[in-house]
Amino acid sequence: MKLLALQRRMARAVMTPLTPSEHMRSVAPNGGSMRAVASEIIKPNDRLTSFERLEIYNRQYWFRILSGFAEDFPGLRSVLGGNKFDRIAKAYLADCPSQSFTLRNLGARLEGWLRKNPQWAGTRLQLALDMVRLEWADIEAFDGAAEPPLKPEDLADANPAKLRLRLQPYIQLLDLHYPVDDLLLEVRKVEEDTDFASNAFSERHHRKRVSAVARLKTEPIFLAVHRMDDSVYFRRLEAEEFAILRGLRSGKPLNSAVESALRKSSIPAEERPAHVQHCFQTWAALGWFCRIDQDDSQGNSAAEVSSRGARASRNERPSKSNSAAL
């Protein structure tokens, strides 16, 4: 057997889901005997059979990825409860096995999978989807790419009618239905403040808090998940802010993005210029804009976007409860 074929057979065997009692299955993915597969790819020793040796790798693989999945989605676990979360984790990872060298990407397909398999979330589907989107955005924002930030001199000759500002790749824009940002921060804080002996208390607290959130009437919540000083933060946005940023991300010129966002706004017309300027000052101070290409920097006005410092508003939340507030 060639090395590549051996590696693939080993991978298929190791990645085969465990039995309900967390042991290796007796039937291989191709329907054959797992003992026969084991004897072909691994030798026995004086203490263990080929099957028993392969089972060690099989169990350790699943224990590790299930542990990593739980670490990435504590909010979803609080929404669904421990038992249901464990079942959904196994079902998801069986349908969407790891395709990456890093555990970081385990949950990349979870939102799409959950939308196709809504029965796993039951009556809390929308709440679960909101939480999954937030927790995946947190991962993306934490280690997403960062480009050199925009500087005032980059806009010296910019024409707002043609200027296309680019957002930092790590920034994630979410439109949600439930305040899962507050819920996730609370879940993390409770888990950090309790030890193993307090797990029962933690579970009861989560159930009560999640039930209260689930009973809330849904309403639009706009959120930016971003990074600063190696920490991830959740920042609530007004509808107009979200629309402007989403327009810029889609490639709209600056003026077009602002006009589209304000078309149905309830902000009085006379207050809109100051409101927009304040928003751009804040975003620029946070480093949300990337440098523009020379081909885009034509014109003669930088008044629309000022990078003068602005204090982060009170709705800025660090996604890690021990992070310093901005």
Q: What is the pLDDT of residues 214-241, one digit of tens each?
A: 899 999 999 999 999 999 999 999 999 9
pLDDT score recorded for residue 75? 96
pLDDT score recorded for residue 299? 40
pLDDT score recorded for residue 316? 56
* Structure tokens, 239: 């509808």
Distance CA 307, CA 311 (A): 12
Cβ atoms within 10 Å of 6's Cβ, excluding its own:
13
pLDDT score recorded for residue 158? 72
Beta-bridge partner residues of 223: 174, 236
pLDDT score recorded for residue 16? 96
pLDDT score recorded for residue 305? 35
Threshold 0.95, pTM exceeds: no
Q: What mean pLDDT, rounded, does the chain reach?
A: 87
pLDDT score recorded for residue 297? 43
pLDDT score recorded for residue 282? 94
Q: Can you spell out the DSSP letters for 64-133?
A: HHHHHHHHH-HHHHHHH-HHHHHHHHHHHHHHS---SSSGGGTTTTHHHHHHH-GGGTGGGHHHHHHHHH
Distance CA 12, CA 30 (A): 10
pLDDT score recorded for residue 302? 34
Beta-bridge partner residues of 33: 27
pLDDT score recorded for residue 209? 86
pLDDT score recorded for residue 164? 86
Mean pLDDT in runs of 10 for the chain (326 residues)? 89 95 94 95 95 97 96 96 95 94 95 97 96 98 93 73 89 98 92 63 76 92 96 97 96 93 94 94 93 50 33 48 35
pLDDT score recorded for residue 321? 38
pLDDT score recorded for residue 161? 74
Domain residue spans of the chain: 73-318
Distance CA 108, CA 182 (A): 23
Distance CA 92, CA 109 (A): 9
